[in-house]
Amino acid sequence: MARQSGTAAPREGGYGQYCPISRAVEVLGERWSLLIVRDMLCGYTRFNDLARGNPGLSRSLLTKRLRQLELAGVVERLDGEYLLTPAGEDLRPVVFALGEWGARWQFGDPADNELDPELLLWWVHNRLDFSPLPDRRIVFEFRFRGEPRRYWIVRDSSGPSVCTHDPGFDVDVRVEADLAALYRVWLGKVPLRSALRDGSVELNGASAMVRRIPDVFLLSPVATFVAEHR
């Protein structure tokens, strides 16, 4: 039976409308709430991971939003992790339908302030399929044209991680790219092979390793929607 959570008491900060849409917006319409749910739907459950995936969100506000989602029955905490409840999991089609709408109607070229190399690699690192590669430590180095900093993704026995300082290991594949171009690839606006042909993305390393990279780099969960409307 569906959970009935309504109450006749006044709802602080609410819209004063007895409507399921207004009730849903009261829970999810606060700034950052839907992006927190988005990241949880993509598998992030720890506070620090949710914070790192939303660099414009202060830790105090993240704490507040998680508490609000807990009180609304969308999130629950267990052994230091934040997990979606059945009500939270039911938001999956809602959130990705918003992504599809955005891809169709609101997704033009990126603004400069939307291009964050560390955030992009944070998203990418959890969507890499290392199965076509040797079962050992794998190191990817990323260099973005016009950006002085370098970044690394290292996969070892504990899984993949993003490094902002040289980890000191041999690099298997070096990725040199225009930042906007790699964003477009990640989000499905441009196929990786097209970006490699026009030079906006370059891969350097052993040829056998480089050939497998298109199979390793899985795309954003919303890339299918973006590709359909590009």
Report the pLDDT value the prediction gives residue 230, as an integer from 0 to 100: 80
Rounded Cα gap, residues 105 and 140, in angstroms? 34
Rounded Cα gap, residues 29 and 71, in angstroms? 15
Place of tokens 């939303």: 54
- 71-82 confidence digits (pLDDT tens): 999 999 999 999
Q: Give the β-pairing of 159-163 and 201-205.
A: unpaired
Q: Which one, of 179, 181, 186, 185, lies nearest residue 151 by Cα?
A: 179
Question: What's the burial of 193, exposed, middle or buried (CB within 10 Å: 0-12/13-18/19+)?
Answer: exposed
Give me the domains of the chain, ranges plus CATH numbers. 20-90 (1.10.10.10), 112-228 (3.30.1050.10)
Place of tokens 């499905």: 188
Rounded Cα gap, residues 156 and 193, in angstroms? 27
Token pair belonging to 120: 């992009």
- 128-178 confidence digits (pLDDT tens): 999 999 999 999 999 999 999 999 999 999 999 999 999 999 999 999 999
DSSP track, 75-92: EEEETTEEEE-HHHHTTH
Point out the residues of the chain with pLDDT beneath 70: 1-12
Report the pLDDT value the prediction gives residue 229, as an integer from 0 to 100: 86
Report the pLDDT value the prediction gives residue 41, as an integer from 0 to 100: 97
The number of C-alpha atoms within 13 Å of 145 and in the hemisphere containing its C-beta is 11
pTM comes to 0.90
The radius of gyration of the chain from alpha carbons, rounded to an integer in Å, stands at 20
Query: To 10 degrees, the CA torsion angle through 14, 16, 18, 21?
Result: -50
Report the pLDDT value the prediction gives residue 11, as an integer from 0 to 100: 59
